[in-house]
Amino acid sequence: MTGQRTLRIGTRGSPLALAQANMVAAMVAEASGGSVATTLHTFTTTGDKILDKPLQDAGGKGLFTKELDRAQELGEIDIAVHSLKDVTVTLPEHLFLALFLPREDPRDCLIGPVGSIAELPQGAIVGTSSLRRAAQLLAARPDLKAVTFRGNVQTRLRKLAEGEAQATILAAAGLRRLGMIDKAAGILEIDEMLPAGGQGIIGVTLRNDASDWLKELAAKLDNEDARLAAVAERAFLRKLDGSCRTPIAAHFRLTEEGAAMAGEVLTEDGAKRWRAEGVIEGRPTVFDAELLGDALAEDVAAERAFDLGETASPWPEEDQ
């Protein structure tokens, strides 16, 4: 790259989204040696505007991405920075996921008076905008009551302080990126609450016809470990989530021996759970990761008698 270039970065306007976009801007500055300047362009998405109903009732897919997708299509921005779990598993035809940042802590955090689900008071009210978290909570503690909590991290912490619920659950990744992990009473281990597919990963989209220098820069910044996890988990979601209303979770991790993955689907009331696990021996390729995600989805589908003919998108969980 020669001369001064400018990269226009699209992002939502929430504090977490801005923190993530600024992470990308800092990485661009370092990788380019200062030859690429960056500007941030903020957008209010449909998901940000609709706060009076659960996400699954708001309609459509890509509630937190479509305005940015459109801006890229129109050439108003060069890249868009997203929490990966908000990104539909099938992208608009003009876009591709060009890079992934290193994965932050993928676990969930319990915010409230106690640090574990087991310690919550009998019949406690827990606020969440996530079907997955609500179902997993009820699977562990059928006596709990899950209520809708919408808004960004700060809004939900305020609602909690005002007594709308006794506890809430947020992603550790978002709290860490905001410097607010001290707000967590406890961090829930992966085996206790399997995360959403893509949780903790920042994904960046780019136009298919982007300039070569943009594609080269994205390739330079892409984190291979995060890409493996993203591909595996999104393959699992793509094959299983046919309704956009399904509590679904997936987590891929590298191990000393190779890689391991778990995926699960639950009923909304948490009364039933279908889970599959698998491993890869040796360092996996992207192709291996995708095959593992597909295979686990087929295992879950066979157990639950899913119809795999219909594909859709993971439902966003609104951690921003």
pLDDT in tens, the chain (320 residues): 456 899 999 999 999 999 999 999 999 999 999 999 999 999 987 666 665 555 555 554 577 799 999 999 999 999 999 999 989 999 999 999 999 999 999 999 999 999 999 999 999 999 998 999 999 999 999 999 999 987 889 999 999 999 999 999 999 999 999 999 999 999 999 999 999 999 999 999 999 999 999 999 999 999 999 999 999 999 999 999 754 578 999 999 999 999 999 999 999 999 999 999 999 999 999 999 999 999 999 999 998 875 554 444 445 565 54
Name, in order, each residue with C-beta under 8 angstroms of 155's C-beta and a sequence gap of 6 or more. Answer: none
Half-sphere exposure of 119 (CA within 13 A, CB side): 11
Give the residue among 236, 306, 248, 310 at the shortest CA–CA distance from 273: 248
Give the residue among 316, 108, 125 at the shortest CA–CA distance from 193: 108
Q: At the topology level of CATH, where does 232-304 sit?
A: Double Stranded RNA Binding Domain (3.30.160)
Q: Which of 48, 69, 78, 86 is catalytic?
A: 86
The pTM is what?
0.90
CATH architecture assigned to 108-188: 3-Layer(aba) Sandwich (3.40)
Q: At the topology level of CATH, where does 5-101+201-222 sit?
A: D-Maltodextrin-Binding Protein; domain 2 (3.40.190)
Domain with CATH 3.40.190.10 in the chain: 5-101+201-222, 108-188
Domain with CATH 3.30.160.40 in the chain: 232-304
Active site annotation includes 294: no
